[in-house]
Amino acid sequence: MPHRDVMHGSRAVAEAVRLCDVKVVAAYPITPQTHIVEDIAEMVANGELDAEYIMVESEHSAMSACIGASATGARSFTATASQGLALMHEVLWIASGLRLPIVMVNANRALSAPINIWNDQSDSIAERDSGWIQIYVETAQEALDSVIQAYRIAEDAEVLLPAMVCMDGFVLTHTVEPVEVPDREQVREYLPELRMPHTLDPENPITMGSLGDPNYYMECRKQQELAMERALEVARRADEEFRRVFGRGYGVVEEYNMEDAEVVLVTMGSVAGTIKDTIDMLGDESVGLLRLRLFRPFPKEAVRRALANAKVVNVIEKDVSIGMGEGALMTELKSVLYGSDIKVLGTVAGLGGRDITTGHIRQAVERAQRALRGERVDEVAWAGLKEEAV
Amino acid sequence: MKVNIAACITEPGSSERNKTGGWRVFKPVVHQERCIDCGSCWIFCPEACISRKEGRYEVDLDFCKGCGICANECPTEAIEMVLEEK
């Protein structure tokens, strides 16, 4: 039976890994992810999860072990954050190039230097081109549900790509929320056993990771791109089916107060909660929120549809592409909306764990409203920046 | 031919289908009248693309990359590396 409990977001992820009958977990500790793999280690030690738990010497090795395990057809999991994800960078491309449906949770944390353990999303956004599916979640419940959905999407025969579930470090990993833990049998029904068309099997030997010279390499990349495009529809269906089985779903994008919205805030992750509260406090039908849950594959059509009646968009994001002067989501949104009359503004916020307050959200709304009235406004603003300290 | 998922190789010996002779700049030409049938070229060829047929040595140009080891090892200079024009 499903049961409700209060738990850390990290515990919710560990529960999801248990429910998914993951066979191999390879992990290296890093704040703010450590709770996740600690809880999984406890589950394995207590016999609640029948998995190989591999202690490794680095995140590079953690991902490499997951690649080896996944290549044998074993459902594999790891979790990381920040410098750990950066250390995995080269192996991330091997996991996606080998088309291995590994699922990883990234507890979003700022990158050094200066050393900072707090939350922003620069780490996973820097890996946007690595061929991994990326899901950004708002709550602990959604983190749990998204890990289950991520396996279903990644392992689909039409997809076979690794998937990263990105949850804001501390904001979600270290806060306690009520979470419904689904029934194990229901999860088994939703998530069938992993069947891959390519596995390392002594009975049917194959070579994986061979040379792909200029005659073959481009075709492999195009196959990945096509699989990623198919993943969009698979993700939509996986969420619908999830709603049918478990009674809740999220969509590939979430719309809030969008019916009559002319000003739309666009974001990913937990700050959507603060934005929804701010919109409720404003009580203004002309202000809405579009939360992207999928960042890779980018849900272009869903975004265009959701913004069909919008006039001004303000992208609030916890990353900045240094040298571009704006966040990656803003750049991509402009690309998706190219040719439309929608004005796109950006707000760089929450870097290195700086609080994002309802006041910052109101400022973002007001700037968009001024633009709507035809006033000149800054295209990009840094919320809560201490100008005198720069 | 469709490339397998993740470029996996699912059967042995399939590398023979991947003709690599196009990498070559110089090609070996065997002067049979100087050949003493010592077999050095056959032994030393790193691509195993020299074969002995009725006492004559032949080069499989589908795979010869033109490294010139055969010409270098031949004790009677019976193999000449000639610039290939394509």
> Which chain B residue shows the shortest CA-CA distance from A201?
B10
Question: Which pLDDT tens digit goes with each residue over A128-173?
Answer: 999 999 999 999 999 999 999 999 999 999 999 999 999 999 999 9
ipTM: 0.84
Could you tell me if A219 lies within 8 Å of chain B, comparing CB atoms? yes
Task: Please give the pLDDT value at position A268.
Answer: 98
Task: Please give the pLDDT value at position B19.
Answer: 87
Task: Please give the pLDDT value at position B20.
Answer: 86
Task: Please give the pLDDT value at position A318.
Answer: 98
Q: Which residues of B lie closer than 8 Å to A, measured between beta carbons? A: 3-10, 12, 18
CB–CB contact B6 A197 (8 Å) = no
Mean pLDDT for chain A? 97
Residue A155's nearest CA partner among A41, A231, A104, A87 is A231
CB–CB contact B5 A212 (8 Å) = no
Question: Which pLDDT tens digit goes with each residue over A247-273?
Answer: 999 999 999 999 999 999 999 999 999
CB–CB contact B6 A220 (8 Å) = yes
> Which chain B residue shows the shortest CA-CA distance from A212?
B7
CB–CB contact A97 B6 (8 Å) = yes
Could you tell me if A203 lies within 8 Å of chain B, comparing CB atoms? no
**Average pLDDT of the residues in B23-43:** 95
Determine the distance in angstroms separating the CA of A132 from the nearest CA of chain B, rounded to an integer: 14
CB pairs under 8 A between A and B: 34
Task: Please give the pLDDT value at position A1.
Answer: 85
d(CA A262, CA A268): 20
Instruction: Give the global pTM.
Output: 0.93
> Which chain B residue shows the shortest CA-CA distance from A215?
B18
CB–CB contact A220 B9 (8 Å) = no
d(CA A191, CA A21): 10
Determine the distance in angstroms separating the CA of B2 from the nearest CA of chain A, rounded to an integer: 9
How open is the CA angle A134-A137-A140, to the nearest 5 degrees? Answer: 135
CB–CB contact A198 B5 (8 Å) = yes
Select the residue of A206, A215, A219 nearest B8 (Cβ to Cβ): A206
Kindly list the residues from chain A whose CB atom is less than 8 angstroms away from the CB atom of residue B4.
198
Determine the distance in angstroms separating the CA of B10 from the nearest CA of chain A, rounded to an integer: 5
Mutation target to probe the B interface, by most B beta carbons within 10 A, among A195, A206, A224 is: A206
Task: Please give the pLDDT value at position A147.
Answer: 98
CATH architecture of the region A253-389? 3-Layer(aba) Sandwich (3.40)
Q: Is the peptide bond before A113 cis (omega within 30 degrees of 0)?
A: yes
* pLDDT confidence band for B17 (50 / 70 / 90): confident
Kindly list the residues from chain A whose CB atom is less than 8 angstroms away from the CB atom of residue B9.
206-207, 210
Q: Which stretches of chain A drop beneath a pLDDT of 70?
A: none
Determine the distance in angstroms separating the CA of B20 from the nearest CA of chain A, rounded to an integer: 11
* pLDDT confidence band for B1 (50 / 70 / 90): confident
Task: Please give the pLDDT value at position A213.
Answer: 86
With 0-12 CB in 10 A as exposed, 13-18 as middle and 19+ as buried, what is A61? middle
Task: Please give the pLDDT value at position A385.
Answer: 98
With 0-12 CB in 10 A as exposed, 13-18 as middle and 19+ as buried, what is A358? middle
The distance from CA A373 to its chain's CA centroid, rounded to whole angstroms, is 35
CATH of A3-246, one of 3.40.50.970, 1.10.3720.10, 1.10.274.10, 3.90.25.10: 3.40.50.970
Task: Please give the pLDDT value at position A356.
Answer: 98
Crossing angle of the two packed helices A140-155 and A9-19, in degrees rounded to 10: 30
> Which chain B residue shows the shortest CA-CA distance from A203?
B10
CATH architecture of the region B19-83? 2-Layer Sandwich (3.30)
pLDDT greater than 80 at residue B86: no
Task: Please give the pLDDT value at position A375.
Answer: 98
Where in chain A are all domains bearing CATH 3.40.50.970? 3-246
d(CA A67, CA A59): 12
CB–CB contact A220 B10 (8 Å) = no
The residue type at A199: T
CA distances from A346 to A313, A368, B4 (A): 8, 9, 42
3-state secondary structure A261-285: CCEEEEECCCHHHHHHHHHHHHCCC
CB–CB contact A208 B6 (8 Å) = yes
Mutation target to probe the A interface, by most A beta carbons within 10 A, among B1, B5, B19 is: B5
